[in-house]
Amino acid sequence: MGRRKQLAVQRRGTGARTLLGAIAASTIGVAGTVFSITIAALSLAAGQMGPRLLRNFTRDRGVQVTLGAYLGTFSYALMVLRSVRTQEEGPFTPHLALSFGILLAFACVGTLVYFVGHMANRINVDTVVDLVSYDIRAAMKATITDEAQPAPPSADFWANASTIVDARRGYLQQFDEAGLADWASEHGTAIRLLARRGDYVFPGAPVALMSVQVAEAEDAVRRATALGAARGSVGDLEYAVRQLVEVAVRALSPGINDPHTAMSVLDRLGAALCDLAGANLPSGVTLRGDEVVLVVPSATYGSLADVMFHMIRQNAAGSTAVMIRLLDVLTAVIACESDQDRRAVLLRHADLVWTDAQRDIANEGDRADVGRRHATLRRTVTHGALGAIVASIP
């Protein structure tokens, strides 16, 4: 009877080790497969949508959770396997830990099913466009304000200014505006930064101007700025816009030739400009009392529109569908926007589209379709959205 009991204990220990070994081996094997699928998705995204979008995949919670579940289960199985002892070592089988390991193995199976569907949806171009659009909305929400912004001083204010040079090189990623403004106020000078977030600073080139020369100004600017090898996205609205534009430009390349993706991007860009209607962009001017102490270059409505539409229009030469969609988007934004200066910016882009269409579209019927959209946009500027709709009814 004792011998039978010893054999049973031995079999339980051996079975526990076999089961935990199987769990450990299978989970680390599937983790490698998950990693391979992720790399394949990254390669596809880099080729079709641009390498700058890879961070949207690497920071994806679904991928992180899946890899974490498999690697965690593998580590857990190894730790429990170490505690299992057979008859020769003093029998011990952790039944509770073994049961929990089996539950983790079943959870990993469910995680794998989720991961396959998640990655299939993640590499969909519409999903990527939505993700980047969310980045634009977040950057815009952090940038725009309802408060009136002080106007920058005239060029005469800087007539006798001195230049500040920087020996460093790299992209301007972080900038302590409040700290530099306080320093300038304390030393009785005003500083105008010549580079904004996302701009490349060249070694030895002027990086700022100061109205009254102060010996420590170069050190103060260096302490207030942080440069990096890559362009950062924090506080850089145009960077987020450029990522979305890159998707459209790649879609319009001869190797991909996907105008529908470019049209989808234009829809999101138009929606972003509609969100901007009625709000103010920072002027970059910092006051202390009533005195200007710091001026930082900032994105304007015109610069944003240029980043959004110039490259798409230039790469859509001869694509009637994309040009028509671009004019439709500009018309919708003009209907949302009441500021005349901003409307003038949008009208300038519409005129550029019409000029390119007249030059690049050979088919007379297609060219006429673009012309009708352009005429509708101009009627919207003159008579408003309702007037343009009524005038276009046959």
Structure tokens at 6: 């010893």
The per-residue pLDDT for range 372-383, each reduced to its tens digit, is 999 989 888 887
Residue 7 has pLDDT above 50, yes or no: no
pLDDT of residue 202: 92
Most trustworthy range by pLDDT among 14-28, 69-83, 351-365? 351-365
Q: In what order do the strands lie in the sheet with 206-210?
A: 162-165, 206-210, 191-193, 291-295, 285-288
* pTM for the whole structure: 0.76
Strand partners, 394: none
CA 166 – CA 161 distance, rounded (Å): 16
The per-residue pLDDT for range 274-325, each reduced to its tens digit, is 999 888 888 888 888 888 889 988 888 999 999 999 999 999 887 899 999 9
The per-residue pLDDT for range 88-132, each reduced to its tens digit, is 655 667 778 888 888 999 998 898 888 888 777 776 777 778 877
Of 80-94, 271-285, 343-357, where does mean pLDDT reach its minimum? 80-94
Residue type, 241: V
CA 286 – CA 207 distance, rounded (Å): 18
At residue 49 the predicted structure's pLDDT band, cuts being 50, 70 and 90, is low
Residue-range domain boundaries for the chain: 2-123, 141-146+236-278+300-392, 155-228
What is 155-228's CATH number? 3.90.1170.30
CA 281 – CA 299 distance, rounded (Å): 7
Residue type, 382: T
Residue 225 has pLDDT above 50, yes or no: yes
Residue 273 has pLDDT above 70, yes or no: yes
The per-residue pLDDT for range 133-170, each reduced to its tens digit, is 888 888 888 888 877 788 888 888 888 889 999 889 99
pLDDT of residue 305: 93
pLDDT of residue 1: 41
Could you please report the per-residue DSSP string of 54-116?
Answer: HHHHHT-HHHHHHHHHHHHHHHHHHHHHHH-B-GGG--B--HHHHHHHHHHHHHHHHHHHHHH
pLDDT of residue 325: 94
Structure tokens at 137: 């909305």
Strand partners, 286: 294
